[in-house]
Amino acid sequence: MAALPPIANLQAFEAVARRRSFALAAAELNLTASAISHQVARLEAMLDIRLFERSAHGVRLSPAGEHYLLHVGAALSAIATATDDLRQGIRNSLYVHSAPSIASLWLMPRLHHFAQAYPDISMNLSAAHTPSDFALGQSDIDIRYGIPQWGDLVVEPLFMESIVPLVSPAFIKQHKLKRVEQLLEVPLIQSNVSIVQWSDWFGRFTKLRAPDRFSLRFDRAQMSLDAATQGLGVALESAMNAGGHLAEGKLKAPFGMDQAICVKAHFAVYPERHAKRPAVKAFLSWLHGEAAKTPTSR
């Protein structure tokens, strides 16, 4: 293994990078600004690269520093969390990372079932579009969205999803929405991260060309669905993610669920070695059980 920088140097670097100030970092770490400066200088010398760009206006990360911070910050956070767990006597912890929309729309409403079934497991849940870096120990399991191209990791599909136009009842009434051709006359909502785009849907179910411009664009399914419930347009989203909205009557599929594109886009991903942990086994078993109970709307 390559020689690692002293953790004090890494902590100094992370604090300065986060606070954008040597003085504030020094106060946080109970050191002098001079000591922090020396630790950062030692780290830069060891790496043979400049991590900060200093000027009369202050300090900011260099491009190399920005890249390094992504990994160092996550690694220090993982160490701090693991240390806190040990101090508090938590031995059976589980770290789950997830794509944001499935975390808020599907996983969170079900987590109380997991807590009841496994009260001895302490779960830590984080959510971001960026996949977890298993090499840094950021998580035990990652629930990822997209096309599965993740190297040597174990990849387990969770469920089939129906991607379909969804809109509020008030919008249907206002625009007298009955025919797919009318979609070219009303605002459409674009979900930037979806693996199924409007062009795919138009190509599958119509002879029309999807518009090039959209009234609203979002990088999260939840925001796209919320915009649709507010009557801002028609969203092309997963009926699984929209399960709550559909059950409450806030959204409808104006052309029926037979006008849906079905995909497997959410996956439980983890290194094979992680499957040996009892907490990981328990969560995977529970996760697949919940996925099996999730309606596909088909």
> What is the rounded distance in angstroms from the CA atom of residue 6 to the CA atom of residue 297?
54
| Residue 164 φ/ψ, nearest 5 degrees | -150, 150
Structural domain contains residue 57: yes
Structural domain contains residue 2: no
Structural domain contains residue 1: no
Domain membership of residue 101 as a residue range: 92-160+265-293
Q: How many domains does the chain have?
A: 3
Do 72 and 22 lie in a common domain? yes
Where is average pLDDT lowest: 4-8, 43-47, 221-225? 4-8
Q: What is the CATH number of the domain that holds 70?
A: 1.10.10.10
Report the predicted TM-score, pTM, of the whole model to 2 decimal places. Answer: 0.69
Structural domain contains residue 280: yes
Do 141 and 289 lie in a common domain? yes
Q: Report which DSSP code applies to 252.
A: B
> What is the rounded distance in angstroms from the CA atom of residue 228 to the CA atom of residue 249?
12
Q: What is the CATH number of the domain that holds 114?
A: 3.40.190.10
Final residue of a domain: which of 20, 52, 83?
A: 83
Report residue 79's pLDDT band, with 50, 70 and 90 as the boundaries: confident
| Nearest C-alpha neighbor of 236 from the set 180, 286, 156, 289 | 180
Give residue-wise pLDDT tens across range 90-133: 457 888 999 998 999 999 999 999 999 999 888 889 888 888 87
| Residue 55 φ/ψ, nearest 5 degrees | -150, 180
The secondary structure of 29-74, three-state, reads HCCCHHHHHHHHHHHHHHHCCCCEEEECCEEEECHHHHHHHHHHHH
Do 269 and 121 lie in a common domain? yes
Final residue of a domain: which of 27, 61, 83?
A: 83
Q: How many CA atoms lie within 13 A of 294 on its CB side?
A: 26
Structural domain contains residue 211: yes
Residue 296 pLDDT: 63
Do 19 and 29 lie in a common domain? yes
| Nearest C-alpha neighbor of 234 from the set 178, 156, 274 | 178
8 A C-beta contact, residue 238 and residue 221:
yes
Final residue of a domain: which of 59, 83, 107?
A: 83
Report residue 2's pLDDT band, with 50, 70 and 90 as the boundaries: low
